[in-house]
């Protein structure tokens, strides 16, 4: 593996690890547009960025526990109906740095920007699987297939130089309403190398780790993928588990992400003049659960008031609005009067009534995933 042919990236990205390249935008970039520009979208890799030169001869193999197998070329993918799905992709390690302050965790550190909201264009996986004889709404094939595994062409050190792999249940893959895509576009442009050129999976509402980039093959398998990132990573353990007593098989691979929000208009280091302060950020939940509410407090959670939410700038968001983007974040905004130095807190509630936990201590886990605790920023009033 080597890193001599990495793509060029935007200079304002904050680099959390150089090789493999892992970077997130500054907080403020996330709230400057509803759809995150490709250049400002976080980049999460486990190896060098692959190069696919000849798009005409590029294909993915589809096979496994099913009727038939075949090679799928880009022209085959493009011949299927094209869908544009607005979906927020979020790394399970988002906000890991603040969890690591409780107790050391393993993994790349991230502030609050290991996520982004994009319009993904491509074919539905449910349509692709139909091409090889797997009907819509199948949960098990005649030969016992229950999961769909995606294998990449990249080379990851955790796989000893082998490819990145992940799987999702067949029932989700064959459900057109789940909007699982084989995507070749991001925000109306061909995917770029960092984000999976020429073809990647997008699994809306699920942690980013299952949206495999740079596809090489897809296969129907009986059990969930035994790849490192499914079996030995991206699982949520209780706070009592440490590296001496960990039993990876005791937990299932994390799929949906929980309700999350973060304030992006302020950093802990900001010194402001007393008066009105704009508190803006994002809120998102997994599994297609929309956001019901975002609450703001400036007295450590004793009293709260509600922020306004929108998906289209200027139009407030209604959680049960049929036209709302169910896989996508809402942005929120609130004007707060800050007379003295305070901690500003935000928490979101999703449409199932799930609410973010108050403290990061209670959800600490050794891999540092799913830090969805109330988001706090310290605002210093200076002069």
Handedness of CA 10, 11, 13, 16 (dihedral sign): positive
Position 46 contacts ligand MTE (CB under 6 A): yes
- The radius of gyration of the chain from alpha carbons, rounded to an integer in Å, stands at 21
Using the minimum distance from each CB to Mo ion, give the nearer residue, 64 or 196: 196
Q: Which residues make Cβ contacts (< 8 Å) with residue 233, sequence separation at least 6?
A: 158, 209, 367
Using the minimum distance from each CB to ligand MTE, give the nearer residue, 87 or 291: 87
Position 89 contacts ligand MTE (CB under 6 A): yes
List the one residue from 109, 122, 204, 208 that touches Mo ion (CB under 5 A).
208
Task: Please count the residues of this chain forming the interface with ligand MTE, following the rule CB under 6 A.
Answer: 18
List the one residue from 60, 66, 91, 336 that touches Mo ion (CB under 5 A).
91
Using the minimum distance from each CB to ligand MTE, give the nearer residue, 20 or 145: 20
Position 263 contacts ligand MTE (CB under 6 A): no
In the complex, the smallest distance separating the C-beta of residue 344 from ligand MTE, rounded to whole angstroms, is 27
Handedness of CA 143, 148, 151, 157 (dihedral sign): negative
Interacting residues with ligand MTE between 160 and 199 (CB under 6 A):
164, 195
Q: Measured at the alpha carbon of residue 370, what is the angle toward residues 265 and 170, in degrees to the nearest 5? A: 120
Task: Please count the residues of this chain forming the interface with Mo ion, following the rule CB under 5 A.
Answer: 4
Strands 271-272 and 375-381 come out as parallel
- Given the rule CB under 6 A, which of 41-49, 129-137, 288-296, 331-339 is the region that contacts ligand MTE? 41-49
Interacting residues with Mo ion between 29 and 48 (CB under 5 A):
44
Interacting residues with ligand MTE between 270 and 329 (CB under 6 A):
none
Residues that bind ligand MTE (CB under 6 A): 41-46, 89, 91, 152, 154, 164, 195, 208-209, 211-214
């Amino acid at each position: 593996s080597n890193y001599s042919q990495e793509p060029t990236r935007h200079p304002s990205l904050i680099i959390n690890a150089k090789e493999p390249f892992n970077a997130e935008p500054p907080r403020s970039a996330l709230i400057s547009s509803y759809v995150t520009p490709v250049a400002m979208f976080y980049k999460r890799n486990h190896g060098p960025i692959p190069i696919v030169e000849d798009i005409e001869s590029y294909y993915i193999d589809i096979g496994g526990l099913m009727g038939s197998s075949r090679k799928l070329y880009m022209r085959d993918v493009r011949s299927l109906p094209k869908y544009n799905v607005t979906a927020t992709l979020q790394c399970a390690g988002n906000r890991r740095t603040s969890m690591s302050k409780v107790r050391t965790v393993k993994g790349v550190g991230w502030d609050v920007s290991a996520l982004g909201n994009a319009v993904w264009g491509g074919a539905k996986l449910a349509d692709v699987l139909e091409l090889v004889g797997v009907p819509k709404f199948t949960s098990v094939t005649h030969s016992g297939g229950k999961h769909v595994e995606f294998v990449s062409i990249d080379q990851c050190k955790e796989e000893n130089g082998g490819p990145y792999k992940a799987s999702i249940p067949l029932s989700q893959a064959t459900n057109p309403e789940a909007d699982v895509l084989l995507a070749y576009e991001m925000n109306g442009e061909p995917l770029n190398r960092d984000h999976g050129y020429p073809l990647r999976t997008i699994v809306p509402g699920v942690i980013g780790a299952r949206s495999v980039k740079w596809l090489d093959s897809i296969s129907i398998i009986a059990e969930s993928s035994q790849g490192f990132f499914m079996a030995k990573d991206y699982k949520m353990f209780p706070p009592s588990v440490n590296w001496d007593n960990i039993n990876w098989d005791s937990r299932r691979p994390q799929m949906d992400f929980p309700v999350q929000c973060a304030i992006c208009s302020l950093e802990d280091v900001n010194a402001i003049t007393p008066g009105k302060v704009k508190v803006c950020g994002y809120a998102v939940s997994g599994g297609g659960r929309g956001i019901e509410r975002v609450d703001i407090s400036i007295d450590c959670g004793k009293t709260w008031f509600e922020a306004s939410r929108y998906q289209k700038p200027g139009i407030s968001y209604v959680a049960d609005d049929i036209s709302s983007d169910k896989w996508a974040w809402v942005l929120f905004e609130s004007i707060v009067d800050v007379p003295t130095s305070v901690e500003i807190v935000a928490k979101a509630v999703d449409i199932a009534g799930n609410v973010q936990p108050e403290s990061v201590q209670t959800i600490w886990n050794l891999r540092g995933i799913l830090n969805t605790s109330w988001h706090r920023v310290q605002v210093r009033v200076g002069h």
